[in-house]
Amino acid sequence: MTEEIINALSKIEGLKVTARTSSFVFKHQKEDVRIIGNQLGVSTVLEGSIRKADNRIRVTTQLIRTDNGFHIWSESFDRQLNDVFKLQDEISLLVAEKIRENFGHLSIESHLVETTTSNVEAYNTYLKGRFNHLKWDEEGIQKAIELYSECIAMEPAYADPHFGLAYCYAMAGSWWPEPSLLVEAEKHINKGFSIDDQSALGYYAKATLSFWGHWDFQKAQENYIKAMQLSPKYTEAEEGLVELYTAVGDFDNALKHVENILQINPLSANHFFTKSNIFYQKGDFKQAEKFADQALILDPNFTHAIALKQLCLIHNGNEDKLNHFLNTTQLIERAEACNLLFDLFHKSKEIQTSTIDEELNKEVPIPLFPWTLFVKIYANRINDAEAELKDAVKRKLGQYVNFKSHPLLLPLRKSAVFQKLANENLVDNGSSKELTLGTEKLALISKEEASSLINRLNDLMEKQKAYLENAITLRSTAERIDISSNKLSYLLNEYLGKNFNEFINGYRLKAFQDMALDPKNSHLTLLGLAYESGFTSKSVFNDFFKKSTGLTPKAWVKQEKS
């Protein structure tokens, strides 16, 4: 439920929605909403709960301002479980409407959740697969493959698990390595596109296969960009683009995009790892270590960040610090190879040939980094290192994708073998244009039309006193003057400089002021007059009054009567 609502709201242009990973950091925590807002950089928080009993679910939701903790809106929903997809759309639309009414213009479609399956069991299995997929490690990918396959067996015409499976096969085919899995990835991409040919997930999977499976820069870039155009806040796709730019040494573009995804998803360990890797490949090891540490604060068991920090500590040269990290951290990658590489890199002690041979010949689980290549280089076994690199590049192994800029490969860079490999693989020929994230905004309403609509709107308020209605909404008001809610939102914000609530409360404020100064109402309290004027909340009334006049209601009345 949470993920689909996040995805739905993320489709609205102009609405900053924190991505799933960062939002889930606060799951099951009793943190103050103001602290959450500060850490996520958001002005509102949507929180709620879901209870399931047999085939029914109850969802409670509340939209809260993070500056003062004020509850903008809350509602409970009781539904049959098989109505969950309609409910996701209903909640998403209501939340978007309330944000628009309180904060400013947003153009909202009639539906935000696109139902890709009606099979609740298949959908639930897909989400379990995605949960494991997003662990980004070998165990998670293997479990995701199993669950996506189960999902496809339940619902063959459901595109998303085909794309999820294609992603997993593409990564596994590159890293494990099993080339036959790349064929399977292609098969599931084609099947998924036969069901949904405008899927951002599909283009992301296709880009992943092009990049990690085939090392095809141009096709990968085109498909990552297509995924981002279909879903502009899809940080996984944009992170893929960052990794692509990092691999070809385009660090400026890589940093630009990693900053963007961290704006959307500020508490993602994976994004901080990706940022760390950019600085590592650039040769800025202190910055790389800093961002690896940030990733590990968010997820202490994140193997990618652990392994990258090992490399940073080797470069930064503090053996005691490295040993402490190796001895106190779980999930270390190839600790003996790491220690050996430190000694070889810094020439800190004599090392027996047999020690090097033993480390090179060990059978170990699939690593994140090519430790054997590093050891060969710094043991001065250059011919062996070149042979390993040549074979790995030919097979397009994921562990070697950053070979062009990798700092530990510096001793090889002038060799003819290295230069030939660099010139022939993952080439950025500049033929694809970089993505422009901004889009030109077109006026929804002309000045002439706006003038007419404003007159109709004012008539509705002044003659019919619609502002006195407690249940008035932007959508219901739009219907009464016969325009779309998107047009009314645009009219209010662009031509009157107010959001919907400011507009309505402006009329309520004027009504309150008139009644408060009328001697006939002297027997009524100020709060009673506020409710008579259409305000539905004491705090909203007091806040709006103080913001509008600079005074409290009591002080204003006293001033006006003196």
In SS3 terms, 259-282 reads as: HHHHHHCCCCHHHHHHHHHHHHHH
The verdict on 39 and 65 lying in the same domain is: yes
* Mean pLDDT over the full length of the chain: 93
b/e map 296-317, b = 16+ CB within 10 Å: bebbeebbbbbbbbbbbbbbee
The verdict on 180 and 206 lying in the same domain is: yes
The verdict on 532 and 483 lying in the same domain is: yes
pLDDT per residue, tens digit, the chain (562 aa), is: 888 888 888 888 888 889 888 888 888 788 888 899 899 999 999 998 889 888 899 999 999 999 888 888 899 999 998 888 888 999 999 999 999 998 888 888 888 888 788 898 999 999 999 999 988 888 999 999 999 999 999 999 999 999 999 999 999 999 988 999 999 999 999 999 999 999 999 999 999 999 999 999 999 999 999 999 999 899 999 999 999 999 999 999 999 999 999 999 999 999 999 999 999 999 999 999 999 999 999 999 999 999 999 999 999 999 999 999 999 999 999 999 999 999 999 987 889 999 999 999 999 999 999 999 999 999 999 999 999 999 999 999 999 999 999 999 999 999 999 999 999 998 886 644 565 544 445 567 888 899 999 999 999 999 999 999 999 999 999 999 999 999 999 999 999 999 999 999 999 999 999 999 999 999 999 999 999 999 999 999 999 999 999 999 999 999 998 8
Rg (CA), the chain: 29
Contact 557, 551 (CB under 8 A): no
Summarised one tens digit per residue, pLDDT across range 517-546 is: 999 999 999 999 999 999 999 999 999 999
The verdict on 62 and 99 lying in the same domain is: yes
The verdict on 59 and 140 lying in the same domain is: no
Residue 501 lies in a domain: yes
Residue 456 lies in a domain: yes
CATH number at residue 133: 1.25.40.10
CA atoms of 554 and 514, how far apart (whole Å): 14
Rounded to a whole number of angstroms, the distance between the first and last alpha carbons of the chain is: 56
The verdict on 95 and 129 lying in the same domain is: no
CA atoms of 211 and 478, how far apart (whole Å): 48
The verdict on 70 and 127 lying in the same domain is: no
- pLDDT for 135 equals 87
- pLDDT for 3 equals 81
CA atoms of 314 and 447, how far apart (whole Å): 65
Residue 296 lies in a domain: no
Residue 250 lies in a domain: no
CATH number at residue 504: 1.10.10.60
Q: Quick one: which of 188, 305, 480, 544 has its CA closest to 488?
A: 480
The verdict on 87 and 62 lying in the same domain is: yes
Residue 189 lies in a domain: yes
Which range marks the domain in which residue 166 is found?
118-232
The verdict on 45 and 81 lying in the same domain is: yes
Residue 375 lies in a domain: no
Residue 434 lies in a domain: no
- For residue 462, count other CB atoms closer than 10 A to its CB: 12
The verdict on 477 and 555 lying in the same domain is: yes
- pLDDT for 431 equals 44
What's the number of CA atoms in the CB half-sphere (13 Å) around residue 188? 30
Q: Show which of 195, 215, 232 is a domain's final residue.
A: 232
The verdict on 71 and 127 lying in the same domain is: no
Q: Quick one: which of 213, 244, 215, 251 has its CA closest to 227?
A: 244
Residue 357 lies in a domain: no
Q: Show which of 170, 202, 232 is a domain's final residue.
A: 232
CA atoms of 24 and 18, how far apart (whole Å): 10
Q: In total, how many domains does the chain have?
A: 3
Q: What stretch of H or E contains 534?
A: none
The verdict on 495 and 527 lying in the same domain is: yes
Contact 389, 421 (CB under 8 A): yes
Q: Show which of 232, 253, 283 is a domain's final residue.
A: 232
